[in-house]
Amino acid sequence: MIRIGITGHRDLTPRVSGHVAELLKARLEPYGHAVVGLSCLADGADTLFAEAILAAGASLEAIVPASGYREALPALHHPVYDRLLAQATLVHELPHAVSDPHAHMTAGRLLVERSDRLLAVWDGQPARGPGGTADVVAYAHALARPVTTLWPQGARR
């Protein structure tokens, strides 16, 4: 059983989301249901990954960065977040109250530490703020975790 974590951009356009969903499905397909996926379930890459994991019949672990995390996500995403959280076989709730960059980076570190490898839906650009995708990728590299970057050719954020 391999444990794969996801980090990636939020606010993806519908076109980019479709391409990312295809890339994730192709990357996960060889594992079938013999994988555990770790995700914070944010809108964007986290959700696309979680849905691909569940569609493969694999197990999903959720990491909740803070007690106020759900409320900090876009309101339109709440039903999707709630559905995915309910389907998780294990939920790691971090002790932070506020969903801020510190809580997000703590969650990213835990995700990397609990994973055998990391998938990064990342355009290769620096993080827009502390705890962003680039920071989680850098942490994975620091721990010598294999990182696979997935980004549709020509796509923009």
What is the CATH code of the structural domain delimited by 2-150?
Answer: 3.40.50.450
Domain parsing of the chain, residue ranges: 2-150
Q: Please state whether beta strands 59-66 and 2-8 pair in parallel, antiparallel, or not at all (unpaired).
A: unpaired
> Model pTM?
0.96
Q: Which residues contact 118 (CB under 8 A, 6 or more apart)?
A: 4, 5, 6, 7, 111, 112, 136, 137, 140, 145, 146, 147, 148
For residue 100, pLDDT over 90 is answered with yes
Q: What is the mean predicted confidence (pLDDT) over 4-17?
A: 95
For 33-73, how does the pLDDT look when each residue is reduced to its tens digit (9 = 90+)?
Answer: 999 999 999 999 999 999 999 999 999 999 999 999 999 99
| Nearest-angstrom CA–CA distance, 86 and 77 | 14
Selection from 124, 134, 130, 64 nearest residue 99 by Cα? 64
Mode of pairing for the β-strands spanning 59-66 and 90-96: parallel
Residue type, 88: A
